């Protein structure tokens, strides 16, 4: 067969693999199989990912892929995919592209006709809302709020009429300040703070934006949180 008559080489697949958000047991059998089979793993922090792989006896080539320098690695990863190699994309914890690195790579891979396959599993968003006690039939995920007070105020005020549960990611040290902004912009709403999900110090702190904003212990919280706020018209339970 002449070189020009050869069929085009099949492209690789990009697997979007969810990994544990804390407890290393929270990984699916399918995720482990995919991590064993792919050519390489694109990961947010190689030091974090290697711990997960080592705990399951997996040895794999790792490609560092992290914000804000995602664009530097995309050509390398796309080249491997174009040459027929399968790649797994993971983040430090949870599901890639959900307020974590991943979107630019997924976008560019799809633009090139590369198949993107989700491998579902842990996600702080779904873990928090499932056990929050707030309505989950309608919610609005907003990721990390703006860092400055003016930006937070503007965003929260724009959400005053939203009836679904509002969900934010937030470092624990900023919880008290953020709840004060919530109280000022939205009034007294039911609030749940889900902290350190699936880890040893996991806890759910429930109350209202008014009561929690005044709770001194919030200033000493550590780790990562998911903050859930009752939607418009949702009264605070006494």
pLDDT at residue number 41: 98
The ranges assigned to domains in the chain are 3-122, 125-229
Average pLDDT for 4-25: 85
Helical segments of the chain, H only = 29-37, 46-55, 70-82, 103-111, 124-132, 149-158, 175-186, 209-213
Tokens of 20: 């544990």
**pTM (predicted TM-score):** 0.89
Confidence of residue 233 (pLDDT cuts 50, 70, 90): confident
Could you read off the pLDDT of 96-137 as tens digits, one per residue? 999 888 999 999 999 999 999 999 999 999 999 999 999 999
Could you read off the pLDDT of 177-232 as tens digits, one per residue? 999 999 999 999 999 999 999 999 999 999 999 999 887 677 788 999 999 999 99
Non-local (6+) Cβ contacts of 126 within 8 A are none
Q: Is the per-residue pLDDT at 71 higher than 90?
A: no
Q: What are the strands of the beta sheet with 40-43, ordered from one edge?
A: 61-64, 40-43, 87-90, 13-17, 115-119
Fold (topology level) of 3-122? Cobalt-precorrin-4 Transmethylase; domain 1 (3.40.1010)
3-state secondary structure of 8: coil
> Domain 125-229's class?
alpha beta
Could you read off the pLDDT of 31-55 as tens digits, one per residue? 999 999 999 999 999 999 999 999 9
């Amino acid at each position: 067969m002449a070189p020009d008559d050869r069929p085009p080489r099949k492209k690789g697949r990009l697997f979007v693999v969810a990994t544990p958000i804390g407890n290393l047991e929270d990984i699916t059998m399918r995720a482990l199989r995919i991590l064993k089979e792919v050519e390489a793993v694109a990961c947010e922090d190689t030091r974090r990912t290697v711990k997960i792989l080592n705990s399951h006896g997996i040895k794999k080539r790792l490609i560092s892929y992290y914000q804000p320098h995602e664009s530097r690695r995309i050509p390398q990863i796309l080249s491997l995919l174009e040459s027929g190699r399968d790649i797994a994309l993971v983040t430090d914890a949870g599901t890639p592209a959900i307020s974590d690195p991943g979107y630019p790579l997924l976008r560019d891979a799809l633009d090139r006709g590369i198949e993107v396959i989700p491998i579902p599993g842990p996600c702080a968003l779904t873990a928090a809302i499932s056990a929050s006690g707030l309505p989950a039939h309608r919610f609005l995920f907003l990721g990390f709020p703006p860092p400055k007070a003016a930006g937070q105020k503007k965003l929260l005020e724009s959400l005053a009429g939203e009836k679904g549960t509002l969900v934010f990611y937030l470092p624990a040290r900023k919880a008290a300040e953020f709840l004060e902004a919530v109280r000022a912009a939205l009034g007294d709403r039911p609030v749940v703070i889900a902290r350190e999900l699936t880890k040893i110090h996991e806890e759910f702190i429930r109350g209202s934006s008014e009561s929690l904003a005044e709770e001194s212990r919030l200033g000493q919280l550590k780790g990562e949180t998911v903050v859930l706020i009752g939607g418009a018209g949702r009264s605070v339970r006494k």
